[in-house]
Amino acid sequence: MPIVIGINSKRYQAMRRRKYIIISTFCYKEKKTFINAIIFILTGSFLLFSCVKSNNDSSSLLLLTQNGAPIHGYVYAATNLDNKIYGYSIDYTTGSLTPVGNWSTGTYPNAITANKSATFIYTANANSNTVSGFSINQSTGVLTEIAGSPWSVGTKPFGVAIDPSGKFLYVANHDSNTISGFSVDSSTGALTAIVGSPWATAAGPYGTAIHPSGQFLYVANDGSSSISGFSIDSTTGVLTPIGGSPWAAGTKPTQIAIYSGNYLYASNYTSGNIYGYSINTSTGELTSITGSPWPAGLHNWGVTVDSNNHLYATVDNQSKVYAYSIDNSTGALTASSGSPFTGSAGFGSMVDSQDRFLYTAAASSVTGYTISASTGELTAISGSPWAAGSGCVVLSIVNY
């Protein structure tokens, strides 16, 4: 299991959620320069490491494996016109990507997600009405299709999400207005339909997100311009509508992001803005945040957050990323300095587990940016964008 050494408390919490071990916090910062330190490792040996000098805190967390090697991870991009997943290894010094292979899925994969332990990854295949599942080789990033894959779901599955425990997987079926639910075999990744599945939702379910507690599932409904919420039975995975659901959103909400468990944000494709809601963590009910909605580009498609109170929105007819800071007390958004940032963004996006890099999906490529932890400003990574297949729309990132 990796050893994590760092000083940033937000990232400390993020790593705890990902089941890394925090060994020590001997690094300290003076005048925005990180000083060398000697860390005592559990084996009784000493490891000398150098914290990276940084003027924007973007390197304030150093991740090491037990043999002192940097943490590694992979970006996976679903391409819905050539029906594949493209995989890339991440260079955690620069953020640069290196291809590791590509693998066939069902027809028109329009959503992708991996479990938190980074052992399995799944795509929702909109034109074959299936979910494909793959095991992940953590050493190489190579995918192997799971026995029994693909599994049948409803009509036009556009969204897929796995709960934090990895026990349950849910699929939003856009044209049948339902949510399909499956239990996940923790050893093999195979799916078994949950009793009572599918469940009705509002018209046109699209993007999905599960609350960090695992208690609630939220769905953006582009056909009814609303957000639906369901409570999740932690034993069975059965869904029950939350009181007050669905809640009005803008016009054609497509994707959802949840920040810190307290706030939910939805991208609105036609109205070109971001709707924000506070989450009642006991009931799952949503309440509109004062000041919501906030402007983004027309055809705003994707939305993602990091753990340093930043939100990013991508627009499918603009080569731009809109960046915002999140008020931790209210959930209100404020445009970041320099936003929007130029790139080749257009569809889905994700931030890596260290909050150092943002990756976005465009028509046939993946674009990468370094993130300023203090301001949220983006800087294009050298060598970006990297080629992907045709119809690159959504991403998933795994780390070890």
pLDDT at 40: 31
Calculate the average pLDDT of the chain: 85
Cα–Cα distance for residue pair 221/204, rounded to 1 Å: 5
173-199: average pLDDT? 99
pLDDT at 292: 98
Cα 299 to Cα 227, 242, 269, 273, 296, distances in angstroms: 18, 29, 4, 9, 9
115-121: average pLDDT? 95
Residue 232 Cα to chain centre, angstroms? 20
pLDDT at 345: 61
Q: Which two tokens stand for residue 43?
A: 């084996």
pLDDT at 358: 95
Indicate if the pLDDT at residue 381 is higher than 70.
Answer: yes
* Nearest by Cα to 134 from 124, 115, 121, 152: 121
Burial (CB count within 10 angstroms: exposed 0-12, middle 13-18, buried 19+), residue 53: exposed
Say what percent of the chain tops pLDDT 90.
Answer: 72
Question: pLDDT tens, 33-46?
Answer: 333 333 333 333 33
Indicate if the pLDDT at residue 75 is higher than 60.
Answer: yes
Domains and CATH numbers, the chain: 3-64 (no CATH), 73-399 (2.130.10.10)
Q: What angle do CA 31, 37, 38 make, to 5 degrees?
A: 170
**Pairing verdict, β 239-241 and 226-232:** antiparallel
Whether the upstream peptide bond of residue 99 has omega within 30° of 0, thus cis, is no
Cβ atoms of residues 75 and 86 within 8 Å = no
Indicate if the pLDDT at residue 32 is higher than 90.
Answer: no
pLDDT at 198: 99
* Nearest by Cα to 34 from 42, 26, 24: 26
Helix residue spans in the chain (DSSP H): 9-17
Q: Which two tokens stand for residue 295?
A: 């402007």
